[in-house]
Chains A and B, each alone.
Chain A
Amino acid sequence: MQLALLGGFVVAALAPLLHRWFGARTPLVMALLPAAIAAWLLAQWPTIAAGEVLLLEWAWVPGLDITLTFLIDGLAWLFALLITVIGALVFAYTGDYLRGHRDLPRFLMILAAFMMSMLGLVLADNLVTLFVFWELTSITSYLLIGFQHTDPDARKAALQGLFVTVGGGLALLAGFVMLGLAGDSWSLHELNARGDILRDHALYTPLLICVLLGAFTKSAQFPFHFWLPNAMAAPTPVSAYLHSATMVKAGVYLLARLHPALGGTEAWVVTLSLVGALTMATGAFLAIRHTNVKLLLAYSTVMALGTLTLLLGIGSETALIAYVVFLLAHSLYKGALFMVAGILDHATGTKDVTAMGGLRHTMPRTALVAAVAALSLAGLPPLLGFVGKELMLESVLEAEAWRGGILLLAFVAAFLTLAVAAIVALRPFFGVRHETPRAPHEAPGAMLAGPALLATLSLLFGLVPGVLDGLVTATVAGLGAPGAEVHLALWHGLNLPLVLSLASLALGLLVFRHWDRLRAGLGRLEPLMARGPEAGYEALMAGMVALAEWQTRFLQNGYMRNYLVMTLLVLLGLVGHALLVRHSPSLDFHVDVHLHEAMVVGLMVAGAIAACVMRSRLAAVAAVGIMGFSIALTFVLFSAPDLAITQLLVETLTVILLVLVLFRLPRFATLSTPVERLRDLVVAGLAGGMITLLMLAVLGGERLPRISDYMVANSQPLGHGHNIVNVILVDIRALDTLGEIYVLALAAIGVYAMLRFHAGEYDAQRPSAPSRRDDG
């Protein structure tokens, strides 16, 4: 499975190549990948249904306890299946939606990469791995929202989505680290078994806050909901896939995943219930203000995500069952509706539902699909959405905290959602025929197949919800309610949820009838809306830019001398603190110097002093060169030939680079005042003193075992090499070296870019230091 996942990334990278081979059929070819994974998942069903948990182990970085182990229980299985099945349909749909688009290969590449990241996210058992995939979904989502990168609105929306989710991701990382420390494990299935320890741990509250921040931003919970509707700038397949069926569910997936470990406390119940209920009502309320079909659907997605959070907050067995059913129902109908929205946009050239009408004559099949999916969204029988909504209302009645308030919010959300469903399904297809920018036509088969299949499933599962019993049981077991008795049914008897449903039906239809007038009325609230959380985000961004400007002017003013002073001062503060406070070094020199050693050191000192006082640049360079060669000589004296060679070569190349740069520098001038020079002298003296102390502490300290002994002992037997320095560089510490050559490559690109594109601008202040590195 891991290989399939990693292979998926390779397939993503190969998308442009595949496009060259298969042309317009590429999306269908690429749909085979998720289809194959879905088939594999289906083959695992007997195991999952038996309540077993598949643990596919794979060590990744054993030294850091990071694994690529996959954990497939009911919850992960359900999510993975949704991701792959809807993924396959979306690929097929994309083929027609973006037919002939110039950037189709790029789109497919990112979409496939997203799919694999999302799959990794729901399957990962390790916190670190989960986090890596989590961030990958944020980044691919950013690229997909900004797919139409020539449109400034799309770019802005993409950045907003990225900042909100990645900002939350940062909190999540902190939360995960605390979680790992508190539970003494990085593995989710082990953490879930240690729920009692975690809930009583001193770190529980801070880690909960951080994890919730991560999950809430990802799943667009109030007050972070604003990025999701803006993300509708993405092409419709993306909206259908990322921003309704999969990525935005990552947050509620994580909450569900951690429910056994963290759930059930008062903080958890109250926060999740309130945030969820607020999000529900806000989403549904904001939805009916819009006439853009994608925005209507996006806000109703916000509402659905709120519902899922609320259900996890309530946390009773019914609520967990409701969570699973609602999740499945929502993925099915919302995926279908978004694809229908894309079809409408494609066929008519507008996204505004008030501009469409009477399309059922020209697009009868699309109308049918839309109607079925919308019935499920509205929560009407006999669709799966109805089962989900009934269960939701039933769980709300069981809520322990704030029951009345939550019930009210849930009821408001329910009837407004019903109105949204009616608007989406009825406005475009019924009523008077409007002139649209494009002459409408029925959708091609490949585009309609996806939504039709999803809508059919909604209907099928709604008619015989009993077929889902096994799946729901298995999933709920992963949520911390093992052995639940699940009997889904369409008819729950005449009870309070049914009454509430009927009331919401009446109210919802009322809202639909008077929608146009209602919208006009709500328009007057616009000034108030402008002060919503999004304004807070804008202010935050503006503040960040201002701060960045200030600190750039202060710290990075383009003068090399300031950079040096700043760097040295920071170093002095950090290292000096550690050295003086923690180790209190002693000043005992063991002077045992030969005459030739003293001479080399004297040469070094003379070179340094000369470099400082020389009144000519060439002479200063020569003086620095003397210093460098003396250092090389020191390496030779202490038998470190590798270092000596490196030092000599670097000195030589420095000369070459300086020759190239020297003539381009301005005339030698004294720019600093005597006071500044005094300050520099103090900083330099302190830095030198600190390094001396550091050296003494390192040489004198017996506290740490000498790591070099290990390297000397193992370089031949393990590294098969006699040159210890090189074995360290390319084998024992190869990861460090990889980082170093990466930095070197970046430096090269930086130099190139600076000289190539800003040759005139930076002429006066080009840093002339060559890329050096600290060897050994």
Chain B
Amino acid sequence: MVRSGTLILNVAARLLLPLQLLFSLFLLLRGHDEPGGGFIAGLVASGAFALYLFAYGRRALDAMLKVSPRDLVGMGMLLGVGATLPGWWQGEPFFTAQWWTVPIIDFKASTPLIFDVGVYLVVLGSVLTAITALVQTDHEDDAAG
């Protein structure tokens, strides 16, 4: 029942997708100081991809994503767990936040940021997994019926 959308939806999805993704990245990066963060950003990105999915269908989304949403979940978990380790290597307790400054652009890099990216990917991956799985069974049913 999720068919390719109307012209307006198609155009809107194509135009909005980059904007939404940019916005989600913006939310992700500024999350530490202003409203935002990995969870919210992940939800925004999921919304963007969901819109695209509704407009163009499952195959187009797969072709654009290139990775399976389930792999995103895995990568997110890896980043999340990975962010716990640097503190440990520094001889501090497990999960202690580490901060580095990237010299030229004066950007605060940190393990909480890595962790936040992990959260972002897990949220995005989980929502997309659920949505694409639902769409997928619909297609199968259509093929069967």
Contact = CB atoms under 8 A, between A and B. Distances in A.
Interface of A: 59-63, 641-642, 645-646, 649-650, 652-653, 656-657, 660-661, 663-664, 719-723, 725-727, 729-731, 734-735, 737-738, 741-742, 744-745, 747-749, 751-752, 755-756, 759, 770-771, 773, 775
Nearest to B79: A741
Contacts of B25: none
Contact of A734 (B43, B76, B115): B115
A642 to B, nearest CB: 5
Interface stretch (B11-19, B59-67, B125-133): B125-133
Contacts of A726: 31-32, 36-37, 116
A646 B40 contact: yes
A741 B130 contact: no
A748 B46 contact: no
Contact of A721 (B33, B54, B140): B33
Contacts of B77: 741-742, 745
B94 interface: yes
12 contacts: A642-B35, A645-B36, A656-B50, A660-B138, A723-B37, A725-B37, A730-B115, A734-B112, A741-B118, A748-B129, A749-B73, A755-B137
B89 to A, nearest CB: 10
A410 to B, nearest CB: 48
Nearest to B93: A62
Contacts of A721: 32-33, 112
Contacts of A650: 43
Interface string B35-49: 111111001101100
A644 B6 CA distance: 31
Contact of B131 (A59, A645, A656, A730): A656
Contacts of B127: 653, 748, 770-771
B130 A752 contact: yes
Contacts of B31: 723, 726
Contact of B122 (A653, A744, A751, A755): A744
A31 B118 CA distance: 36
B85 to A, nearest CB: 11
A759 B137 contact: yes
Interface size class, chain B: 35 or more
A729 B116 CA distance: 9
A131 to B, nearest CB: 18
A297 B50 CA distance: 62
A645 B2 contact: no
Contacts of B94: 60-61
Contact of B47 (A652, A770, A775): A652
A748 B35 contact: no
Q: Which 10 A-B pairs have the closest CB atoms?
A: A748-B126, A649-B43, A721-B32, A641-B35, A730-B112, A726-B37, A660-B134, A722-B33, A748-B129, A741-B122
A730 B38 contact: yes
Nearest to A726: B37
Contacts of A756: 133, 136-137
A504 to B, nearest CB: 55
Given A725-B35, A755-B134, 17 more contacts: A60-B93, A642-B40, A721-B33, A723-B32, A723-B37, A730-B119, A731-B112, A738-B81, A738-B84, A741-B119, A742-B77, A745-B73, A748-B129, A748-B130, A755-B137, A756-B133, A771-B127
A661 B134 contact: yes
B55 interface: no
A128 to B, nearest CB: 13
Contacts of B69: 748
Contact of B134 (A60, A652, A657, A727): A657
Nearest to B35: A641
Contacts of A719: 32, 97, 112
Given A61-B93, A663-B1, A759-B137, A744 B35 contact: no
B114 to A, nearest CB: 9
Contact of B76 (A59, A745, A747): A745
Q: Which of A660, A730, A744, A773 has the most CB of B within 10 A?
A: A730
B37 A649 contact: no
B60 to A, nearest CB: 17
A719 B46 CA distance: 28
A759 B69 CA distance: 19
A322 B131 CA distance: 66
A723 B123 contact: no
Contacts of A646: 39-40, 43
Interface of B: 1-2, 31-40, 43-44, 46-47, 50, 54, 69-70, 73-74, 76-77, 80-81, 83-84, 93-95, 97, 99, 108, 110, 112-113, 115-116, 118-119, 122-123, 125-127, 129-131, 133-138, 140-141
A205 B37 CA distance: 52
Contacts of A660: 2, 131, 134-135, 138
Contacts of B50: 653, 656
Contacts of B44: 649
Given A660-B134, A720-B32, A744 B126 contact: yes
B140 A722 contact: no
B112 A755 contact: no
Nearest to A641: B35
B33 A771 contact: no
B118 A751 contact: no
B12 to A, nearest CB: 15
Given A721-B32, A745-B122, A751-B129, A729 B137 contact: no
Nearest to B129: A748
Contact of B37 (A652, A657, A729): A729
Given A660-B135, A738-B81, A755-B137, A744 B38 contact: no
Contact of B108 (A661, A720, A745): A720
Q: Which of B69, B127, B130 has the most CB of A within 10 A?
A: B130
B11 to A, nearest CB: 20
B34 A723 contact: yes
Contacts of B54: 656
A652 B76 CA distance: 23
Given A738-B80, A752-B130, A759-B137, A649 B73 contact: no
Contacts of A720: 32, 97, 99, 108, 110
A747 B123 CA distance: 11
Contacts of B110: 720
A260 B94 CA distance: 32
Nearest to A725: B37
Contacts of B135: 660
A645 B94 CA distance: 31
Nearest to A729: B37
Contacts of B84: 734, 738
A58 to B, nearest CB: 9
B110 to A, nearest CB: 7
Nearest to A640: B35
Contacts of A723: 31-37
B136 A755 contact: yes
B87 to A, nearest CB: 10
A649 B47 contact: yes
A729 B39 contact: yes
B107 to A, nearest CB: 12
Q: Which of B31, B40, B73 has the most CB of A within 10 A?
A: B40
A653 B115 contact: no
A168 B55 CA distance: 56
A734 B37 CA distance: 13
Nearest to B74: A745
Nearest to A755: B133
Contacts of A735: 95
Nearest to B37: A726
A749 B136 contact: no
B70 A752 contact: yes
Contacts of A738: 80-81, 84, 115
Nearest to A770: B130
Q: Which of A650, A653, A747 has the most CB of B within 10 A?
A: A653
Contacts of B93: 59-63
B37 to A, nearest CB: 4
Q: Which of B43, B74, B113 has the most CB of A within 10 A?
A: B43
